[in-house]
Structure 1
Amino acid sequence: MVQGLSINTNPAAHVALQQLNKTNKLLNHTQLKITSGLKVNGPKDDSSTFQISTRLRGDISGVNAVKIALTNGDSTVQTAITAGKHIKDLLIEMKGKVIQANQAGIDGNSRTALHNDFRALADQISTIALTAEFNDANLIKSGATTFTVLSSQDGSTISISAQSMDTTALAINASNLTTSGSAAAARTAIDSAIVLAADKLAVLGAASKRVDVQLEFTGSLADILTEGLGNLVDADLAKESAQLQAFQIKQQLGVQALAIANAGPQTILGLFQ
């Protein structure tokens, strides 16, 4: 037998096969990065980065949940504010009726008509207060309670006190314009109701501002966490694309090298010719 040639073992083929397998593994790994867009697809890729990224994904999910809660809370407050503004406008319109009813010499028919208009506007206030609801929460109806909004992942909340704005809360539920005396009393009541409605709207406005500030911060925090996660795990696709081409070339060369190594033992047949 010629030294270095054997039909039982082929060291060159073994080396070529090992290198080809290594190239195929790297090629598959690079293809996975390109397909997923991630350089860390599991703990085997980078255990510490995978652990950090998993925690960040949990934080992002939690922050997004808080953001949803704040958005819903803001909508609830805005619903109350919008309704309260309509109630304030109705109160101003009611004051006009009251002033007319307090003028001297008004006849009975006119007083009755003004009274009916006054009470119709009051009934509209009651309807608005009762229906100013968002997601089963109403901050201005009779008997409304304090509303809490989740503001952080640790369970912190923003408390928004109820601001009932029905006719009873505004102390005009019994007001009428049927007599000059009741019209005079109604004037005092409606003036107080307008001031009270303005105060309640101011409280709701301050609460809305607080929720808006927290919502803006939470949105910024979610963006920062998402960007940080991307910096940790996102693949550089330009780099991975270049590596993919390089590995594809290496794979082709490896196949050729293995073919050449496998053909080596064929030379032994020449010794027997």
Structure 2
Amino acid sequence: MTSVLTNTNAMAALSTLRSISSNLETTQNRISSGLKVESASDNAAYWSIATTMRSDNSALSTVADAIGLGAAKVDTAYAGMESAIDVVTEIKAKLVTAQESSADKTKIQAEIDQLQDQLTSIAESASFSGENWLQADINTASVTKSVVGSFVRDSSGSVSVKKVDYTLDSSTVLFDEGADATTGYGKGILDSEALFTGTDGITVTISVNGIESDEAVKGYSTDELMATTGMTFTDDGDQKVATDGTDTYLQVDGEKWAKLTTTAPTTGQAIAYNDGTTDYYIDTGETPTNVTSANAGFTVYDLDITDLATVASNMGGSFTEDDALDFMIQFVDDALSTMTSAAADLGSVSGRIDMQEEFISSLSDSLESGIGRLVDADMNEESTRLQALQTQQSLAIQALSIANSDSQNVLQLFR
């Protein structure tokens, strides 16, 4: 039936054209935006997941920047610590040189002074973004420095920022900014006062019934014996002895002397010295004097080899300048060990940060790829669909034109 009021063919063609136009508009939007899910109305589930992941990826980008800042702080501290280790190693070498009897300690100390000044310069300049990890106020408590490590979203959806901690204390800080104003001593590696813990003993070889053994006895210094009233020294070419008329001493180790006795402390003990009429034995009953935490009065930063006598006196017991120099070398070596350990810790933190940077970069790429799989449009597919829809649109327009012309054909019946 043909009707001039209702053109069902035109209505059908128009409905098809509207559907094709709608699909064509959707395809064109996907091609222009590159997204198949641009809004929640396109696919609510995918849009929600993608939006959350984009937010997390943005946070990871910020975390990557923060990690870079933290890495710079750690690298700066490590570079400073490494340079300081080189300087302290040189100071140790100078102290070893000073052990030579002909060494000019004044000139060597002048070189050490310059190296000590270099240490302060290194510590002061090892600063990045207002933070210095080589000098801090640790007088009352340690200080914890933190750098951003990662951004984490757990299985429950909770988010958190993980940090990497590094403690500034007496084993990691070179100089204590909270050092005592009166003494100048702090708790840092380079400004902490040397504490001597040991004895004034020396090791001597004792022969008992032909069996030799090493034994520790109290040692006396040459200066100490010379300060005793009435002390005289005798050198028979092979052995050197000293006596004040009551006690007799035998030189056994450089500037060290062991006390002698006329009664053998142990049956079968070999004679240590004979003055032509009397046999003398090492007095093994003269036990060493224990010195516990004596303040030696120097630090790595201000040690002075031109005043070893004062250091020896501060150590307590019967110590010589050579003993004081030996203790200085040991103290500096201990400081080197501590600094090396601190540098190793900084290196470990730096390595962890580098790995975290690589991980975050890979994670960000993975998130970006995952988001793309959910919402990105397949341009090959959309291009093919566009061509098909454009063809369909042309055919639909042609069909509508034919349907609209049907009513015109009715006029031919009235002619």
TM-score, normalised to structure 1, is 0.87
CA RMSD of aligned residues (A): 2.4
> Partners in 2 of 1:112 and 1:166 — Cα distance?
26
Q: Which residue number corresponds to residue 126 of structure 2?
A: 132
Identity percentage over the alignment? 33
Residue of 229, 234, 243 corresponding to 2:385: 243
Asked whether the equivalents of residues 102 and 180 of structure 1 are also in contact (C-alpha less than 8 Å), the reply is no
Aligned mates of 1:136, 1:222 — CA distance in 2: 30
CA distance, structure 1, for counterparts of residue 330 and residue 53 of structure 2: 59
**CA separation in 1, counterparts of 2:13 and 2:106?**
106
2:285 equivalent to 1:157: no
Higher share in strand: 2
Say yes or no: does 1:188 pair with 2:312.
Answer: no
Distance 1:207 1:161 in 2: 11
CA distance in 1 between counterparts of 2:332 and 2:79 reads 20
CA distances 1:65-90 after superposition (whole Å, capped 9, x unpaired): 33332332222212211111111111
Structure 2 residues without counterparts, runs of 5 or longer:
153-159, 177-187, 191-298, 312-323
* Aligned counterpart in structure 2 of residue 18 of structure 1, from 15, 18, 28: 15
- Kindly provide the CA deviation profile for residues 83-136 of structure 1, in whole angstroms up to 9, marking residues without a partner as x: 1111111112222332333322234xxx44432321222222212212212233
Aligned residues: 267
Alignment partners' CA distance in 2, 1:120 and 1:146: 32
Could you give the per-residue CA deviations for residues 35-84 of structure 1, whole angstroms, max 9, x where no partner exists?
A: 22211011111111111211222222233333332332222212211111
Q: Does 1:169 align with 2:189?
A: yes
Instruction: Rate the CA distance shift 1:106–1:179 in 2: closer, same or farther, 3 A.
Output: farther
- Measure the CA separation in 1 of the matches of 2:38 and 2:372: 13
Question: What is the SS of the residue equivalent to 2:146?
Answer: strand
Segments of 4+ moved more than 6 angstroms: none
TM-aligned CA deviation for residue 23 of structure 1: 1.1
Between 211-220 and 39-48, the greater mean CA deviation after superposition: 211-220
Give the Cα separation in 1 of the matches to 2:306 and 2:399.
108
The answer to whether the 8 A contact 1:73-1:149 is kept is yes
Aligned to 1:226: 368
| 3-state DSSP of counterpart to 2:409 | helix
3-state SS, counterpart of residue 178 of structure 1: helix
- Tell me which residue corresponds to 2:403: 261
The 8 Å contact of residues 125 and 166 in structure 1, kept in 2 or not, is answered as: no
Contact kept, 8 Å, 2:84 with 2:122, in 1: the verdict is yes
Alpha-carbon distance, 1:138 to partner: 2.2
Counterpart position of 1:50: 47
* Structure with greater helix percent: 1
Give ranges in structure 1 of 5+ residues lacking alignment.
none
Farther off after superposition, 209-218 or 17-26: 209-218
Q: Which amino acid aligns with 1:251?
A: Q
Which whole-Å CA distance do the structure 1 matches of 2:136 and 2:412 have between them? 106
Cα distance in 2 for partners of 1:201, 1:66 equals 25
Q: In 1, Cα distance between the equivalents of 2:81 and 2:103?
A: 32
Which range moved further: 253-262 or 77-86?
253-262
Single out whichever of 63-72 and 199-208 deviates more from structure 2: 63-72
Counterpart of 1:40? 37
State the distance in 2 between where 1:119 and 1:257 align: 101
Cα distance in structure 2, aligned partners of 1:135 and 1:23: 61
- State the distance in 1 between where 2:83 and 2:118 align: 10
* Contact preservation (8 Å) 2:37, 2:375: yes
- Which residue type is aligned with residue 211 of structure 1? I
Shift of 1:247: 0.9
Q: CA deviation at 1:242?
A: 0.7
Structure 1 residue aligned with 2:359: 217
| Greater RCO (Cα-Cα under 8 Å, separation 6 or more) | 1
